[in-house]
Amino acid sequence: MKITILGNNSALPAFGRHPTAQVVALRSELILIDCGECTQVQMQRYGIRWRGLNYILISHLHGDHYFGLPGLLNSMSLMGRSDPLHLFAPAPLKSILDLILEAAGTVLSFRLHFYPLPEGAGLLVENFSFTISCFPVIHRIDCHGFVVETKQRSRRLLPEKCMELNIPISFYDSLKQGADYTSSTGEVIPNDTVTADPPPTKKYAYCADTVYTDSFLPYITGADAIYHESTYLHNDRDKAEARFHSTALQAAQLAVSAGVGMLLLGHFSSKYKDLYPFKEEAQVVFNNVHIAEEGNVYEL
């Protein structure tokens, strides 16, 4: 799982930083989380191909999280995309998009499947290799975070070992499921001599705009990494709370409570030019902290 940051700022673009957007890549599958203004430009800049983009998740309807969406959809259509696109977003976005497309007389070249986010938590996507789910956070308007989690794969076959021990190919599927092999002479070959552990599952949680709260802790606990907004530094905690945002220290405290592996900080207020103090502040309580730098790829 790889996370590419396309935008790490809050409402106003500043100091070369853009409004919120990031891409989660799972093999050839791309999931775009939030789509602030300039997202399509940032995708081009950092080599994110539209072709693999099948899912878009929009956390809430503040403009810094979706104003880039009409442009992105329009560009994909102009480029002749034909694969369907699955969009998960607050319900009112459907009529907003319909109006924009209708006013321009635009008929998209692809099927856009719109799924309104549920009121609370819920499973959005499940296939053989991953799930996407959502959970409510606490913001000025309805807002959701998202969890992308890979599924446990079967054991990895070691073909050379299998051939060396004369295990018939017809038994390979059972080996992948963890079975031992018993030969016709009764010799038992333990599974772990001919297979290796599958890659570990990965869990990434995106905690969108939210006031500091542990109300969604159960959804993010044990994640390999979380992205948490830190619009302000802690000396502005009153302002953060009044505007339903968080501070870097609060994000770090939540990372500790959730027992996560890594914390990405983002959604910085345009009042801050230097972002290093965010990392310094969070590191007081949680060690593995990164500023979500635009263009950076974080591999889990």
Binding site for Zn ion (CB under 5 A): 10, 62, 64, 209
Beta carbon nearer to Zn ion, 209 or 294: 209
Minimum distance, C-beta of residue 236 to Zn ion, in the bound complex (Å)? 16
DSSP 67: T
Q: Helical H runs in 106-227?
A: 159-164, 172-176, 217-220
d(CA 136, CA 128): 25
Beta strands in the chain (DSSP E): 2-7, 21-26, 29-35, 53-57, 85-89, 112-116, 122-126, 130-136, 144-150, 156-157, 181-182, 188-189, 195-196, 203-207, 225-229, 263-266, 289-291, 297-299
Q: How far is CA 194 from CA 154, 159, 171, 184, in A?
A: 13, 8, 12, 18
Beta carbon nearer to Zn ion, 139 or 203: 139
Beta carbon nearer to Zn ion, 209 or 281: 209
Q: How far is CA 143 from CA 58, 61, 136, 245, 258, in A?
A: 9, 8, 6, 12, 20
Beta carbon nearer to Zn ion, 62 or 86: 62
Minimum distance, C-beta of residue 96 to Zn ion, in the bound complex (Å)? 16
**Residues assigned a catalytic role:** 64
Minimum distance, C-beta of residue 124 to Zn ion, in the bound complex (Å)? 20
The structure tokens listed for 8 are 């790490």
DSSP 153: P
